[in-house]
Amino acid sequence: MKNVRIYTLSTCPWCRKTKNFFTEHKIPFTFIDYDLADEATQNRISQEVDAAGATGFPFVRINDEVIIGYQPERYSKALGI
């Protein structure tokens, strides 16, 4: 099983759609709502997002592949489904 981590904003509709995609496909994932996280967690996420050259949310990491935004076709391809 691939490791899926998602960073989202609690008010972002595209972030909710992203989490729904993984839930509907029964793909286990972990997520953190950036805007609701403590400062230390926000700093860690910011460093990871910056290092990947990302500019927005949702931020999806499937193993070592980073996908920015709601892109179900890319999620499927990365997951092999």
Confidence of residue 1 (pLDDT cuts 50, 70, 90): confident
Query: Is the pLDDT confidence value at 58 over 90?
Result: yes
- pTM of the model as a whole: 0.93
Q: Are 61 and 68 in contact (CB under 8 A)?
A: no
Question: Cα separations (Å) of 46 from 7, 12, 23, 72?
Answer: 10, 17, 25, 23
Alpha helix positions (H), 1-81: 13-24, 39-51, 72-79
Would you say domain 4-79 falls under CATH 3.30.2130.10? no
